[in-house]
Amino acid sequence: MCKHFKSKKSWGNKRRRISIFVSKYDHCLWELLLRQRAGEFNCDVAMIISNHEKLRHVADTFDIPYRVFPITKENKLEQEEEQISLMEQYNVDLLVLARYMQVLSPSFCSRFQNQIINIHHSFLPAFRGGSPYHKAHERGVKLVGATAHYATTELDEGPIIEQDIMRVSHRDDVKDLIRKGRTLEKTVLTNAVKAHLDDRIITHHSKCIVFAE
């Protein structure tokens, strides 16, 4: 294999252990857990990590450990070290940021290269960073999208795994864009997670090569 291609292959035979990071939005979390329970993902969910208590009831529904790490500017790096220790303790292979509304530090991302999948609620590279639906509405876009990518030290710049779009119009306000976008976010994220678990992804510089099922 060319030295510029990076991949750790087990050809989908290894059952992985994943951790899901969330904040207050639950739509991606429910989708991931329901599909895992249905046997669509070759993985076990080791734990759910959040910076809020709000979604503990979802974890309880599936009998999954739920750990809360409140994040401030002052304690961010210390809390991340605690999270990393948990990942190592539970032998976690993949971290899924299911609308986790915290920016991971460069040191955190570097520890888990190509092992962190983030869902961003825009069609990257458009509308990076926060409030993409509001930015899209201000620009009068005719399409909204969602992007799943590997998290890197550069915000929303990681290799793109999966994307999708949906048409919108001048009749849609910001709430409409958010509502429509949530459907895309769930589908795009779960498709990206499945591709990773199936070992169908090879990273090549800033790109992903994703093979069909």
Catalytic residue annotation: 156
Q: What is the DSSP string of 19-70?
A: EEEESS--HHHHHHHHHHHTT-SSEEEEEEEESSSTTHHHHHHTT--EEE--
Cis preceding-peptide flag for 125 (omega within 30 of 0)? yes
Q: Measure the CA–CA gap between 49 and 52, rounded to whole angstroms.
A: 9
Nearest CA among 69, 87, 76 for reference residue 16 = 87
Angle at which helices 132-139 and 174-197 pack, to 10 degrees?
130
